[in-house]
Structure 1
Amino acid sequence: MERVAAWLHEKNPGLDGPIDTDEDLIEARLIDSMDFLEFIDLLEDISGTSIDLQEVTIDDFRTLARVRERFLSPAR
């Protein structure tokens, strides 16, 4: 999750402090449509697996907690 948080801070230089795991990343505009595919690429790189966009919904990317559960937990 450290790489994900670092990426979000890089994309949002005005962001101070840690990102709450339940903060809505999309509503808070921490991820926008221009960065979305790069975010998916980052998750694929971290997890070592491909993300099939037909098998996910926007809610799978909404919070850090959900991202961890859906893409980065060992029991996927």
Structure 2
Amino acid sequence: MERIAEWLHEKNPGLDGPIGPDEDLIEARLIDSMDFLEFVDLLEELSGRSIDLQEVTIDDFRTLARVRERFLSAAG
């Protein structure tokens, strides 16, 4: 999760402090449509699996907790 937080801070240089696990990344505009595919690429790199965008919903990317559960856990 550290690499994801680093990426979010890189994309949002004005962001101070940690990102809470339940903070809505989309509502807070930490991920926008221009960065979304890059975010998916990062998750694929970290998980070692490809993400079929037809099998996920926007809610799967909404919080760090959900990202961890959906893409980075063994059962994801």
TM-score range, shorter chain: over 0.9
Give % identity.
87
Pair 1:17-2:21 in alignment? no
Matches within 5 A, 1:1-76: 1-76=1-76
Q: Which 4+ stretches in 1 moved above 2 angstroms?
A: none
Give the number of aligned pairs.
Answer: 76
Instruction: Say which SS state the counterpart of residue 54 (structure 2) adopts.
Output: helix
Residue by residue, what CA displacement relative to the aligned partner does 1:24-47 show, whole Å, maximum 9, x if unpaired?
000000000000000000000000
Supply the RMSD in Å over aligned alpha carbons. Answer: 0.4
Unaligned runs of 5+ in 2: none
Residue by residue, what CA displacement relative to the aligned partner does 1:2-42 show, whole Å, maximum 9, x if unpaired?
00000000000000010000000000000000000000000
Unaligned runs of 5+ in 1: none
